Structures are given as structure tokens and as C-alpha cells.
Chain A
Amino acid sequence: MSAVFEQILQVGFLAAIIRIATPLAFATLGEMFSERAGVLNLGIEGIMLLSAMAGFTAASLSGSLWLGVLVAVLVGALMGALHALFTVALGLSQHVCGIGVTLFCSGLAYFLYRLIFGQQSVPPSIDGFKTAPIPLLSDIPILGPAVFNQFALVYLAIIAVPLAAFVLYRTPWGLSVRMVGENPRAADSAGVSVIATRFQAVILGGALIGLAGAFLTMAQFNAFTFGVVSGRGWVAIALVVFGRWDPWRSAGAALLFAFVDALQLRMQASGLGHIPYEAFLMLPFIFTIVAMAFMSRNAVAPSALLKPFRREER
């Protein structure tokens, strides 16, 4: 066991936490914006997969990683718009439509991938993002190499958290998002378009979820496989609750989950071989369930979450 604790204190372990947390942070922030506006997006798992595939394909065909990221973000936003079309414009069940979006996106991702790349024994890969140390900051002991010698998308995630908090709490649009998620009628009578605000929030959320997908295939694995998302979307939904619909807490929740995930990876590798590795794989998810059981008691969801808004209702 002591070997495990030694590992924790290493720079490589801290860097791993940050890397694992990055796609979770994007996805969690994306889901948070959507839910803050009152729309649960269960399409998250599928949107992540489709974005990961689309971004990978674009990068692979064009040779430009940033074009790949852009395509992933656009695909995410587009699928967000699709979910909003069903749940906001048509007022359909958010649960059913979300699962539908996930199934649709997953199927589409598999189909298009096969169509473009065929069936290959070794999945094609790309030259993904390289770590880009930030001058000066990366020289800080321990923290420097762990946090400031990372992929560009990691830095983007680090900026995205305070930015999301600023947008949500300090801008009129963010206030509108919170208001339509709490009491859409109040927003409506104040002249704010509930439908437009919800559409925007779900689309922004989709774009962030797309970024999460882009990170997986263009920085973390540099290839697309059918299991590339493997439940990260579902985890993000739990992390939003765990983070009480707040950007800072959500990012903290992502870091905590990443810590447990990094830990189990090290445990798999460090001489506890008599335990099947699947047992370690379960750890972060068990952690999520336990954490949810304790934390979500005090968590209060946005009041209008899951409730479609219709004006003429009497």
C-alpha cells in the first residue's frame, strides 16, 4: 500500500488527475448550464461520443487538430439544439428525449466511423495535442509541471470554470438562465424569452460537451474507439448534482472524481495484482454513488428542471 501513497505525491499523479478531470469538467459545466436553465440533457453520453468521433475524423482528414476541435464543438452545439428542439420548443419529456438523443448519437457515431474508416484491425490514430508548457508558471515546483505543462485544452478547461461562473452569476444572460430554471413565468413576465434562453443554454451546454468529446480523441487517446466515452457523460450528470449546480463546485467534483480514478489506475499497476483489475475500475463509480448519497441530500435542483414551459396555459 505504501507504494500507492508514494505514487500520489508524484508530479505524474497530479498531472494525471488534471488530465482525467478535463473532459469531465467540460461535460459537467455543459450539463450544468443546460440544467440551470431547466433542461436535463441525458443526451450527454451520446453527444460526447458523436463529438469525439466527428472531431477525430475532421482532424484525421484535414490534419488540423483545432479544426477537429471546432467540428466537435459545432456537432455538440447542433445536438444540443436537437435536444432543445424536442424538450424546449415541443415541450416533450426530457428523460425520453435525452435517452433518444444518446441512442441516436451513438448509433450515428458508429455508423459514420465505419463508413469513413472501414473495419480495421488496428484503429487509426492521429498525432494528438502535445503538452505545451507555460513559461514561468511551469517552473513552479510540483504544481508547475502538473498543471502548467499540459495540453492546450486543459488550459481551456481551467479558464472555462471561472468564465462559466462569471457568465452565470455576473451577466444578464446568466441571470436569465438561472431565472428560467427557477421560475420561467417570472422571466416571461419580465420580458425575457424563456424559449430562447433555454435554447441558448442547452446549445452552449452541447458545445461544452462537444469539447469534452474532442479532448478524449484528440488529446487523451488520439484515436476513436466505441468505448472512448465509457460512462463519462453519465458521471457528469452525477457531478452536476454533487457540485450543486455551481461551476466551482462542479469543477471540484470533477477533480475529486478524477483523483479517485487516477488512484485506481495506479492501484491496478502497483502490485495489487491478485485483485482483478475490474474491481479497481469500479472504484470511481462506487465513490460517485456514495458521494451522491451524502451530498445530494442538501442539493436543491433548479425548481423548473424537467418542466416544459408553455405560455397560454391557464
Chain B
Amino acid sequence: MSAPLIEMRGITKIFGAVKANEAVDLSVAPGEILGLLGENGAGKTTLMNVLFGAYAPDAGEILVEGRPVAIHNSADALAAGIGMVHQHFHLAPRLTVLENLLIGIPGKSGRIDRARGLARLDEISRQYGLSLDPNLLVSALSVGEQQRLEIVKALFRGAKLLILDEPTAVLAPSEVDGLFAALRSMAAQGLGIIFISHKLNEVRALTHRCVVLRHGKVAGRVDHPAGTTSAEMARLMCGHEIVPPVKEASTPGAAVLTLDGISTAGHAGMLLRDVSLVVRAGEILGIAGVSGNGQRALADVISGMLPPRAGTMTIAGKTVTQFSPRELQALGLGRIPEDRMTTGLVTNLPLADSMVLPRIGTEAFSSKGLLNPAAIRAFAEAQIKAYDIRCPGPMARAGALSGGNLQKALLARELAFDPKVLIVSQPTRGLDIGAARFIHEKFLAMRAKGCGIIVIGEDLEELLMLSDRIAVMYEGRIAGTLDSADATVARLGLMMTGAGQTEEAA
């Protein structure tokens, strides 16, 4: 048997008191797709950053094709044939595709070698089916195309091993299929691939072998992921059984939120055309769609941040079309925004401040025009306890919390005031199974209490599991609405590409 492409032996990395990785062994053979599985904070990204030279390991060694190598920075990693596609893309939006490819590549007699760059790009495009227009600005590319560019960038530099850090988190289902096809083609042509994910079905569908990390250590190795159940792999990841939450039957009550013929003006991704929706008490309405088809505008209109140009919106029968976010919230609207770091909370302020932010200035947290720090603190402390938010305390900087704990904090802040209507975007993006499970349970509990919930998401399985009905958005319109009993991933996926539209309109 030939030497593995990459072998990591006994890798240990310590941050302060935390052992992010402890004695991890891992190897990838040419032509092999290795899944690296684990919950958030299990040490997957740290391990890959050690391999890519961003962190120096405290112990252990890395072998490339049987020879020990020292990788101190990304240049060393690239020289050793290791390429990485980070979760947050490393691209310059205002430069072209070709310029992003050629960065750091020596030129010919002092000039950028455009001709050779174009030829290499063409070669890679044809070899792996990854086509890109070299002259487009990166800002004009879709997220899927940007990811393709990141992959091409690694191959361009002669990567023999490609690390992909949660590549599917940002993709629509149809784009995931394209990515998987490209990855299989690369593996078939002898490249090694490390695929990091916490989506079990993807790991089972794609990878040949998989390593599960838990608390920085290898918790298990699976040799035939396709032949193993998701439940078994989830058990390895979490260390205990994961039971999916039970959705009890409920009879929806009166309409709590209606949109009638809502249209907005706006640039790409912010456009709504004649959107009509009803959410009833005790019902979860899922909104599916490829990102950029008006979901953000919908969330902004409902939460009062984007005044619609036409149409009416009512909450519990009251017309609220031109209401401000503060007025809507006073009527019982809760919102959990898509991006917890930018619109959700203020990362540089104490967590407690962020937790009362939407209600700052109300009687609960202030008196006579002055803040009431004791009330703010008490509220935050109570929620931290109730939701088991792991943090140093209510006065800790919000930005220091992990994604799952931030999402819990946002959930706590809205649910504490018993909203009648709750609109959430991408509620579990980037969260691990345990945290996602917790969020799901809370939604179902709110549903049982008679709250009307809108869940905007790209994870169809999650929407199918939570929703009573699912509406699909396509180019700013509602392309159709299905009862979740009738909905399947395939059917929704088809509607998301606009295929189901004519049928529904008829």
C-alpha cells in the first residue's frame, strides 16, 4: 500500500487551559474523501488550521506522502500541496476572478502572467467541471460560484489535498449536488479531500471514511459511513443518543399575521412581488427558497425595518403596514435575525445589554429616562440560567460567546416576552446537533402555546420537521405553499428553482 497523502500523528493543540486537540491521528489516501465530523467546538477547525499552518501544534507531527514536514504558515501548506476552502471565503470582492486566482503567484518578467493564468483556469475547469468567468468581479458571483472559485484557487496552486470547512452551510440544495459531483470527480482523479461537516446525511452520502471528534479527541472512526446509521454517528458526535423532538398535532387558531399583496422596491435579494401569506396561532410556517429570492426582504418587512411600497400587513387583525420595529414589537412581534453577529446583537457590548436591546427604554428596563442596570442584569442572569447559556456572566462581551450560545441568548430575549408572532431566519445555521435540537424544542413549545411562527431557512429537512405548512419563495414571489404532509425535499427543491411556479399559478 502506498503512503497516505497526508498523515497527522498525535496532534495536540492547547489554547490557554483548553485542549482544542488532543493526540489526534488522521490520514487521507489519494482518491479518498475523508469526513471530519464533530459538534461545534469539537476541534475540527483547529485541527485543520494546524494542518494549514495557521496554528503551530503543541505536539505531534504532519507527514506529506510519508515525509515529515514543518508547516508554519499558509505558504508552507500550499507548497506541501495542501489547499483549504475556509468557511468564510478568503476572496477580495472588488477584484476579478482571475486576479483572485493569481494572488501570490509569481509573474513573468515582472508582470502578472494573465495568459498562463487563463490557460490553467481553463484546464482546471475542464478537468473537474468547475467553470468560472475569469473577468467577472467576485462581488458579482453567487455564493456557490465564490466557493467554486475557492476550490479552483486551491487546485490552481497545485493542491493534492483539499480541506473544505463546512462547505454546504452556505449552499442551496441544488448547489450541494453540484459541489458533491465536483468533489467526487476530484477524488476519482486522485486528489485527497477532507470534508468537514456536522450534517450527517451529507457525510454519509459523500465520504469514504470518517473521523468523529469530540472534545478535541477522536471519538470514533467510521469505515463505511454509507452503511452506518445517522443515529450511530450522532451518538459518536454527542456522546449520547439524540432523539428528534416530537411535533404534536395542533389545531391552528385565528390568523395572527397576514400579508396581503406586499411589494417592495429594492436591489437584488431585497425585492418582494405581491406576497400574500397567513400565519395562524399555533402554527409554524416554513419559508423555503434559495438564498437571495426575497427572504431577507420578507423578514425586514414583517419586522418593520423595510416599509413596503404596496400591500397591507396585519397583526391580530390590526393594520400595521407602516409601523416601526418598536411599535410592532409592542404588539407582540418577535424577531430572530439571520445574522446574529451583525443584526442580532452588539458584539462589543456586554451580553446583558444585547439581551435587552429591543426593549431598552421600556418600563421593564428603565425608569424616568434612565437605564435600570439592576433590572437589565437580573433579566440577563435569569435568562442565562433558564436557557443554559454558557458564558462567563451577563457582563461578558457578547462577541466572545459561541454561535449556539448566542442563538440561545437571542431566543431567550424574544421568548421572555411571549410573542404572538415570531419570525426567525436561519435559526440553526452553523449550530451543532445539540444546540439545534434545543432551538427546535423551544419553537415547538411556543407553537403549543399558540404563537404563530415563521421560519425562514435553507435546510429543507429542518423545515419539513418543524413546519405545518411550507411556502417557497422564488424571485420575490411565493411560488407555492404546501402542507408539510405533502411536501418532500425533491418537490420543494423543484419549486425553489422556479419549476413549480407555472403549475401553482394556474
Q: Which residues of A contact B (CB under 8 A)?
A: 170-172, 174-176, 178-179, 182-183, 185-192, 300, 303, 311-312
Q: Does B92 contact A (CB under 8 A)?
A: yes
Q: Does B93 contact A (CB under 8 A)?
A: yes
Query: Among the listed A170, A171, A190, A303, which residue makes an inter-chain contact with B103, where contact means beta carbons less than 8 Å apart?
Result: A190
A175 touching B102 in the complex, CB below 8 Å, given contacts A182-B93, A303-B94: yes
| Chain B residues numbered 58-115 whose CB sits less than 8 Å from any CB in chain A | 73-75, 78-79, 84, 86, 89-95, 99-100, 102-107, 110-112
CB-based nearest A residue for B85: A189
Give bound CA distance, A172 to B116, whole Å: 13
* Contact indicator B91/A175 (Cβ below 8 Å): no
Leading 8 A-B pairs by shortest Cβ distance:
A191-B75, A182-B92, A186-B90, A190-B104, A172-B107, A192-B104, A183-B92, A189-B90
Distance in Å from the Cβ of B406 to the closest Cβ of chain A? 15
* Contact indicator A182/B95 (Cβ below 8 Å): yes
Give bound CA distance, A270 to B74, whole Å: 64
Give bound CA distance, A182 to B74, whole Å: 19
* Contact indicator A190/B153 (Cβ below 8 Å): yes
CB-based nearest B residue for A181: B92
Give bound CA distance, A300 to B74, whole Å: 29
* Contact indicator A183/B73 (Cβ below 8 Å): no
Q: Which residues of B contact A (CB under 8 A)?
A: 52, 54-55, 73-75, 78-79, 84, 86, 89-95, 99-100, 102-107, 110-112, 153, 157
* Contact indicator A191/B74 (Cβ below 8 Å): yes
Give bound CA distance, A175 to B104, whole Å: 8
* 20 further contact pairs, Cβ within 8 A, besides A190-B74, A191-B78, A303-B93: A171-B111, A171-B112, A172-B104, A172-B111, A172-B112, A175-B99, A176-B103, A178-B92, A179-B92, A182-B92, A182-B94, A183-B90, A186-B90, A188-B74, A189-B52, A190-B104, A191-B74, A191-B104, A192-B104, A303-B94
Residues of chain B with a CB closer than 8 A to A312's CB: 55
Residues of chain A with a CB closer than 8 A to B89's CB: 186
Distance in Å from the Cβ of B139 to the closest Cβ of chain A? 10
Give bound CA distance, A303 to B79, whole Å: 28
Query: Among the listed B86, B94, B106, which residue makes an inter-chain contact with A189, where contact means beta carbons less than 8 Å apart?
Result: B86
CB-based nearest A residue for B45: A314
Residues of chain B with a CB closer than 8 A to A311's CB: 54
* Contact indicator B110/A171 (Cβ below 8 Å): yes
Find the residue from A182, A192, A311 having the highest chain B CB count within 10 A.
A182
A186 touching B92 in the complex, CB below 8 Å, given contacts A171-B110, A171-B111, A191-B104: yes
Give bound CA distance, A178 to B94, whole Å: 9
* Contact indicator B107/A186 (Cβ below 8 Å): no
A-B contact pairs, 19 of them (CB 8 A): A170-B112, A172-B102, A172-B112, A175-B95, A179-B99, A179-B100, A182-B94, A182-B95, A183-B91, A183-B92, A185-B90, A188-B74, A188-B90, A189-B74, A189-B86, A190-B78, A191-B73, A192-B104, A300-B94
Give bound CA distance, A179 to B94, whole Å: 9
Give bound CA distance, A175 to B103, whole Å: 6
CB-based nearest A residue for B52: A189
Residues of chain A with a CB closer than 8 A to B79's CB: 191
Residues of chain A with a CB closer than 8 A to B110's CB: 171
Give bound CA distance, A314 to B155, whole Å: 26
A178 touching B111 in the complex, CB below 8 Å, given contacts A186-B90, A187-B103, A191-B74: no
Give bound CA distance, A172 to B112, whole Å: 5
A179 touching B103 in the complex, CB below 8 Å, given contacts A170-B111, A190-B153, A191-B75: yes
Give bound CA distance, A133 to B100, whole Å: 44
Distance in Å from the Cβ of A72 to the closest Cβ of chain B? 26
Residues of chain A with a CB closer than 8 A to B55's CB: 312
Give bound CA distance, A216 to B321, whole Å: 63
Give bound CA distance, A182 to B86, whole Å: 17
Distance in Å from the Cβ of B342 to the closest Cβ of chain A? 15
Residues of chain A with a CB closer than 8 A to B94's CB: 182, 300, 303
Distance in Å from the Cβ of A162 to the closest Cβ of chain B? 14
CB-based nearest B residue for A311: B54
Residues of chain B with a CB closer than 8 A to A300's CB: 94
Residues of chain A with a CB closer than 8 A to B100's CB: 179, 186
Distance in Å from the Cβ of A93 to the closest Cβ of chain B? 16
* Contact indicator A186/B91 (Cβ below 8 Å): yes
A176 touching B92 in the complex, CB below 8 Å, given contacts A189-B86, A190-B153: no
CB-based nearest B residue for A167: B110
Residues of chain B with a CB closer than 8 A to A191's CB: 73-75, 78-79, 104, 157
CB-based nearest A residue for B15: A314
Find the residue from A175, A176, A300, A311 having the highest chain B CB count within 10 A.
A175
Give bound CA distance, A312 to B46, whole Å: 12
CB-based nearest B residue for A188: B74
Give bound CA distance, A174 to B103, whole Å: 10
Distance in Å from the Cβ of B151 to the closest Cβ of chain A? 13
Give bound CA distance, A175 to B94, whole Å: 12
Distance in Å from the Cβ of A84 to the closest Cβ of chain B? 20
Give bound CA distance, A188 to B78, whole Å: 11
Residues of chain A with a CB closer than 8 A to B73's CB: 191
Residues of chain A with a CB closer than 8 A to B92's CB: 178-179, 182-183, 186, 303
Give bound CA distance, A175 to B112, whole Å: 8
CB-based nearest A residue for B105: A172
Residues of chain A with a CB closer than 8 A to B52's CB: 189
Residues of chain A with a CB closer than 8 A to B112's CB: 170-172, 174-175
CB-based nearest B residue for A178: B95
Distance in Å from the Cβ of B297 to the closest Cβ of chain A? 24
CB-based nearest B residue for A192: B104
Give bound CA distance, A174 to B78, whole Å: 21
Residues of chain B with a CB closer than 8 A to A179's CB: 92, 95, 99-100, 103
A189 touching B111 in the complex, CB below 8 Å, given contacts A172-B102, A179-B95, A179-B103: no
Distance in Å from the Cβ of B114 to the closest Cβ of chain A? 9
Find the residue from A170, A179, A186, A312 having the highest chain B CB count within 10 A.
A186
Give bound CA distance, A186 to B52, whole Å: 14
CB-based nearest A residue for B76: A191
Distance in Å from the Cβ of B47 to the closest Cβ of chain A? 14
CB-based nearest B residue for A304: B92
Find the residue from B84, B100, B103 having the highest chain A CB count within 10 A.
B103
CB-based nearest A residue for B77: A191
Residues of chain A with a CB closer than 8 A to B107's CB: 171-172
Give bound CA distance, A186 to B54, whole Å: 13
Distance in Å from the Cβ of B46 to the closest Cβ of chain A? 9
* Contact indicator A172/B93 (Cβ below 8 Å): no
Give bound CA distance, A243 to B106, whole Å: 29
Give bound CA distance, A187 to B78, whole Å: 13
Distance in Å from the Cβ of A166 to the closest Cβ of chain B? 8
Give bound CA distance, A77 to B438, whole Å: 58
Give bound CA distance, A204 to B55, whole Å: 32
* Contact indicator B86/A172 (Cβ below 8 Å): no
Give bound CA distance, A174 to B104, whole Å: 10
Distance in Å from the Cβ of A201 to the closest Cβ of chain B? 15
Distance in Å from the Cβ of A100 to the closest Cβ of chain B? 25
Give bound CA distance, A170 to B113, whole Å: 9
Give bound CA distance, A234 to B320, whole Å: 50
